[in-house]
Chain A
Amino acid sequence: MTTALTLLRRDLVLLLPGSGRGSTLLPLLFFLAVAMLFPFAVGPDAALLARTGGGVIWVAALLAAILPLDRLFAPDLGTGFVDQLALRGISEELAVAVRMLAHWLSFGPLLMLAALPASALLGLDGATLRVLELGLLAGTPGLAAIGVIIAALTVGLRGGTALAGLLVIPLAVPLLVFGAGALATGGQGGLTLCAAISLLLAAIAPFAGGAAIRAAREG
């Protein structure tokens, strides 16, 4: 347990905005920039914006979650951190699970906060905003899990970052379908399914990521 806390503390220092390897406010600013640019692009039609705005925020959230992927595992593999953890008998699964939690904490809550100004920019009403926030709460852990799996799988590859971004997108489609779909129907069903997919992905991610890291270490 203390091991997990020690790892989490380091991961948070590395991934949270305003600390460590820096520039982690970028995903957030990127997210807000998309929300801000969209009305300029489609024109000042309030009804159209209100109808499509929620979906735009979802796509922006997905893209923002992709941005930090290159910093998730590649530096630790290069500096020998992964080796040293393995020598201490700390399983890759634990390290990946902790990294996933830290990754989510570094963008999930922030995106939910940033969704407030973004929804104001897009003219979303209160009910839509509520479904949107609940959907982000249900869906961002799944995005974090997908990100961790893909980052671990592409960690040893040259040009892995661009590939990681491409690989995340199809895997994130179910989350988008149910998470953003709930906006249209306003129902609980989509949110529940979205949360279920997130839970499943979060349960798989430590094992998939751990196996991928082990394979990369052998390379």
Chain B
Amino acid sequence: MDACLSALDLACRRGDRVLFRGVSFALESGKALHVTGPNGCGKSSLIRILAGLLRPFAGSVERAGAAALVDGRLAFDEHLPLGRALAFWERLDGGSADLEALGLADLIDVPVRYLSTGQRKRAALARLTGQGAPIWLLDEPLNGLDAAGAALVEAMVAEHLGAGGVAVIASHQPFALASGRTFHLPDHAA
């Protein structure tokens, strides 16, 4: 897997407030960035800009490789059983996830709306691995997960980086990264 993600002098404006400016970094294969900062400092907006879902107020993003996003929204049809909801994305992505490892194997017949917060997060991670994208953009990936789940996410990210992927993790919680650095977003507050 060959990937790279770089940001050049990014600025983000929400409404009439500039959240941050002058954000620049470059990530090559196997590297990760842990974006930290308090609520409202623009972590999610940065992730959405990197994903290409939000236009930056200034600056540019360069991506080599497809990007996958996990945020607070699950993008599953709530009334469907988990297995069928995942199957929709698997048909689009052409890959599938190891549900056993994610602890979801017993839940495939359960409608998505009955899943707990942690189970929903695990389901989103299943969609993420099935997508097989080299660039992972994770917005608060540890929210709602128990200790085992958090360790699982950290292991997944480590494995992804080992395979040559790139990851940006926005989280106010500590996140164990073998080959990555921390980026404190409030340092770039406008």
Interface set of A (CB-CB < 8 Å, partner B): 2-3, 6, 10, 14, 20-21, 78-81, 83-84, 86-90, 217-218
Contacts and interface: CB of A to CB of B under 8 A. Distances in A.
Contacts of B77: 10, 14, 20, 79
B68 A218 contact: no
B181 interface: no
A3 to B, nearest CB: 6
B79 A83 contact: no
B35 interface: no
Interface in B53-84: 53-55, 66-69, 71, 73-79
Interface of B: 48, 51-55, 66-69, 71, 73-79, 88-89, 91-93, 127, 131, 133
Nearest to B53: A83
Contacts of A21: 79
Contacts of B91: 2, 6
Contacts of A88: 66, 92-93, 131
Contacts of B93: 88
Most B CB within 10 A of own CB, among A3, A21, A78, A88: A88
B79 A84 contact: no
Nearest to B90: A6
A208 to B, nearest CB: 20
Contacts of B48: 83
Contact of A89 (B66, B75, B127): B66
B66 A217 contact: no
Nearest to A19: B79
Nearest to B78: A79
B88 A86 contact: no
Nearest to A22: B79
21 contacts: A2-B91, A6-B88, A6-B91, A20-B77, A20-B79, A78-B73, A79-B74, A79-B78, A81-B75, A83-B51, A84-B89, A86-B53, A87-B53, A87-B66, A87-B68, A87-B69, A89-B66, A217-B53, A217-B54, A218-B54, A218-B55
Most B CB within 10 A of own CB, among A10, A78, A80: A80
Contacts of B127: 84
Most A CB within 10 A of own CB, among B75, B89, B133: B75
B66 A83 contact: no
A79 B67 contact: no
A79 B75 contact: yes
B51 A87 contact: yes
Contacts of B55: 218
B52 A86 contact: yes
Given A78-B73, A79-B73, A79-B75, 5 more contacts: A3-B92, A6-B91, A10-B77, A10-B88, A83-B48
A168 B159 CA distance: 51
A80 B51 CA distance: 13
Contacts of A3: 92
A84 B51 CA distance: 10
Contacts of A10: 77, 88
